[in-house]
Amino acid sequence: MFGDIGETKECQLKDPMDLFHSGQVVKICAPMVRYSKLAFRTLVRKYSCDLCYTPMIVAADFVRSAKARDSEFTTNKGDHPLIVQFAAKEAQVLCDAARIICPFADGIDLNCGCPQRWAISEGYGACLINKPELVKDMVRHVRSQIDNPKFSVSIKIRIHEDLKKTVDLCQKAEAAGVSWITVHGRSIEERHQPVHYDAIKIIKRSMSIPIVANGDIKTLKDAENVHHLTEADGIMVARGLLANPAMFAGYEETPVQCIQDWVDIALEHGTPFTCFHHHLMYMMERITSKQEKKVFNVLSSTSAVLDYLNDHYGVW
C-alpha cells in the first residue's frame, strides 16, 4: 500500500475546501471505528455523501508499523475527497503520519473528541480540548511540514461546559491554520443528552473558517434542521448513515437498491463477514420485523445472508 514518503500514486486528489466554497451544505460521513472503511465509504458516496473520513487511526502506530498502515488504511481512485483521522498527542508524530498519508488522501483530521476512557488515559481524543496550545502546535506543525497547500488539516472536538473555553480553542486552531472544525455538540461527560446546537451556532459566529455540526442527525430533515439551527457549513453523520446509507440522497429508510449495492461492493472488496453482516443489520433495522431480525441477526455465513436477502428482498 505504501512506499517511501515521497512516492506518488495515481490518485484523483481533490481540495476538500472546494466543497465548503460551493455554497451548498457539505454532507459528511463521520469517522466510525470498524465501520467507515473503504467499502462503506464507496457505498455512501453513491448516495450523495460529499466527504468521507476514515476510522480513527493511532498516529504513533501508523508511523511505526507497516503492518498497522496496511491493516488500518486502504483507498482507491474513487475514494475522494478523503480525510484520514488520527489520534495523536505529539506534533512531530502527527506530522510524520500526515507526510506518509499525503499522497493518498486529501487531508487529515486530529481527533479531539473521542470520550472513551482508553483514549483519554493515553492522552488522545477529548482530553485535547483542555490543551489548546498543544492542539495549536500540532496544527501549525502539520501546516509547516506539508508542502501541498490543498491538503487540509482539520480537527474534531467536543464542547466545554464553559463555552468560552471552546471558542478560545477554536480561535487558537484557526490562528494556526486549521482548515475547518467539526463540533460534536456535547461535553466529554455527556453521552445521550440532547445536543447543544445553540453552542455550535455560537462557535460558528465566532469563527471565519467553516464549522461542521455533528450529533444526533438521523435523517436528511434532521440535517436541514441542524443546518438551520447552527448555520454550520457542513453536517457530519455517524449512526444515521449506518442505519440508512442513502440518507443524504433523501431516502427515509434504506432502499432495497442500497442493500443490493452494499452486497455488490462488500463482496468486491472482500469485506470480512462480521463487518458485512453488521452493516446489513444496521441497514435493515427499520425495515424488518422483530421476528425477521431474530432470524437474520444470527446468520453465520455470507452464503446464508445472500440466500436470505434473495428470498426476502430479491437481492442476489
Instruction: Note whether 140 and 183 are within 8 A (CB).
Output: no
**291 labeled binding residue:** no
**160 labeled binding residue:** no
Residue that has been written with the C-alpha cell 459528511 in this structure: 28
**55 labeled binding residue:** no
CA atoms within 13 A on the CB side of 214: 25
Instruction: Note whether 200 and 174 are within 8 A (CB).
Output: no
Q: Which is the catalytic residue, given 29, 95, 112, 114?
A: 114
266 CB-near residues (< 8 Å, 6+ apart): 39, 275, 276, 279
Ranges of beta strands (E only) in 147-289 are 152-158, 181-184, 211-214, 234-237
Instruction: Note whether 100 and 84 are within 8 A (CB).
Output: no
196 CB-near residues (< 8 Å, 6+ apart): 159, 185, 186
Instruction: Note whether 100 and 70 are within 8 A (CB).
Output: no
Q: Is 114 known to be catalytic? A: yes
The grid coordinates listed for 233 are: 457549513
Tell how far CA 154 is from the center of its chain.
12
Instruction: Note whether 269 and 39 are within 8 A (CB).
Output: yes
CA torsion angle for 306, 307, 309, 312 (degrees, to 10)? 180
**184 labeled binding residue:** yes
**31 labeled binding residue:** yes
* Residue set of the binding site for FMN: 31-33, 85, 184, 238-239
Catalytic residue positions, numbered: 114
